[in-house]
Amino acid sequence: MSTLKRVFVSHLRQVSLWRLLDEARALRDYAKAQGLYPEGINVHLVDQAAFDAVDTCVRHIESCFARVDIKAKVWRRFTDEDERHYAYACLARYSAIAQIMGGSVPKISTVAIAPKARAKIASYLHRVIRDALGSSWPTVITSRSMSLDSSLYSVADNETRTGKTRRYVKVVSSTRNKRISLPLSGLSRVSGNIRVVLDEERKRAFIHVSYDVARQDRATGEAVALDWGITEVCTDDSGVHHGDEYGRALRSMTERRNKTGEARNQLHALSKRDAGSKRTKHIARNNLGNKKQQARLRRAKAQLQTISGAAMKEVVYGDGNRTRKNGRVRQLPSQRPREIIIEDLSHLRGKARSKKISRLCSSWARQENQERMTVHAHVGGSGITTVNAAYTSQTCPDPTCGYVHRDNRHGDGFHCANPYWDCDWQGDADHVAAMNIQIKDRRSPDRPVHFLPASEEDP
């Protein structure tokens, strides 16, 4: 199917065909009319390849537009509301974008604007879109996973010889009227859109299923400020460390990667020096593969995710989590924080002051931790607020002091070095950072608190 998707994506590179991106089924009808559907292959899979090609191209174009922030440029360029409305209407229709890139001026009936003004806007959009897209276009690579809707698979239960029930997922194949049966290891519920993922290393296939998560009532407890760390997952403003074993696991993974990398570099240098020899071929065959290395990295990342998830559940649901020894217990809204204040690390760039910290940070899944916290906060009914992380661990939390200097922090410890008066405030650096995040949030009463929109909340 990747070959078919590659054909569809290459056709959509023609600007004149961008009108087909306004509706996914338009490319399917066009491909059938042009004879692009191969014979002897299940038509449902070809349809799915066409829909995936449209989605890939749309995402690529939208990402290029977002990277240069075209809408903001339009807002600054034009001051008339009708002109802005016309420009935004053009950007919302791929058929109009195709006309602009083809040198013509789109006519949009919902916007009353003079022809001269339309031509001026179209000329500006042509230049901006051309610069945003450049010569880039998405490429299709062979993937070890595929997404299927409910019409491309079926679920069946069969009884084994021992009397147990075995569940199978029968997915569509490239041959007509033939499906591939995948036995499941349990009796999990499989419905809706699924994704089949192949694990070549263990010669298994996994079925990924999406489930609706029941959201709890809106939390009403005290707000909590968090500071992300690499020795632990996070520290709250009360000084409690969550996920203390995170640092040991992260350090172990980093040291193992560094040690393996140094050994592989030596083997690569030896292979270059003795190129073509029997010894070099043996090294390339047995010591320079990446299968074991990737498997080890997956296990290490899974360990970090487990530690991180448990720590975040402690923050959102309390020490007891959502489960109790005797079963699942629904907590009261007052037992969960109404708001979780975290530092925004999306703009964190550059190297740290030491090579060791830089290597740890390269393996630190900070963005993933923020996303997981957002999910858990949504399920627990808590809001998420982000504040600027600058100097949070270098600022004295004493409201009468507030001295900021990098010498205040020494590793995981904090000691205020205010030269103007004897403050001498001491404590844990992560605890200080969480306290300063709380202070920053109090100083910004109009900051947005992110909750799920009311129209999407669970009833």
261-293 pLDDT, tens digit each: 888 888 888 878 877 788 888 887 777 777 788
Q: Which domain holds residue 7?
A: 2-133
Mark whether 48 and 160 lie in a shared domain: no
CATH of the domain at 239: 3.30.420
Asked if residue 450 has pLDDT above 70, the reply is no
Mark whether 184 and 68 lie in a shared domain: no
Measured in whole angstroms, the distance separating CA 376 from the mean position of its chain's CA atoms is 15
Q: What is the pLDDT of residue 58?
A: 92
- The predicted model gives 203-225 an average pLDDT of 84
Would you say 426 and 228 are in contact if contact means Cβ atoms under 8 Å apart?
no
Q: Which helix (H) or strand (E) holds 294?
A: helix 291-317
Asked if residue 19 has pLDDT above 70, the reply is yes
Asked if residue 107 has pLDDT above 80, the reply is yes
The C-alpha angle with vertex 180 and arms to 175 and 182, in degrees rounded to 5, equals: 165
> Mean pLDDT for the chain?
82
What is the pLDDT confidence band of residue 129, given thresholds at 50, 70 and 90? Answer: very high
Mark whether 332 and 412 lie in a shared domain: yes
- The predicted model gives 417-430 an average pLDDT of 87
Q: How far apart are the first and last CA of the chain?
A: 40
Q: What is the pLDDT of residue 459?
A: 31
Mark whether 110 and 164 lie in a shared domain: no
Q: Comparing 389 with 131, which gets the higher pLDDT? A: 131
Three-class secondary structure assignment of 92-103: CCHHHHHHHHCC
Beta strand ranges found along 316-408 (DSSP E): 323-324, 327-328, 339-344, 383-388
Mark whether 34 and 107 lie in a shared domain: yes
Number of domains comprising the chain: 3
pTM over 0.75: no
Lowest-pLDDT range of 132-136, 159-163, 348-352: 348-352
Q: Which helix (H) or strand (E) holds 277?
A: none
Mark whether 90 and 149 lie in a shared domain: no
**Gyration radius (Cα) of the chain, Å:** 28
Last residue of a domain, one of 133, 158, 190: 133
Mark whether 346 and 417 lie in a shared domain: yes
Lowest-pLDDT range of 74-78, 123-127, 250-254, 442-446: 442-446
Q: What is the pLDDT of residue 62?
A: 92
Mark whether 69 and 152 lie in a shared domain: no
- The predicted model gives 147-169 an average pLDDT of 87
CA atoms lying within 13 Å on the CB side of residue 85:
11
Tokens of 53: 């090609």
Asked if residue 454 has pLDDT above 50, the reply is no
Question: Scanning the structure block, which residue is given the tokens 């000329």?
Answer: 123
Q: What is the pLDDT of residue 124?
A: 93
Asked if residue 456 has pLDDT above 50, the reply is no
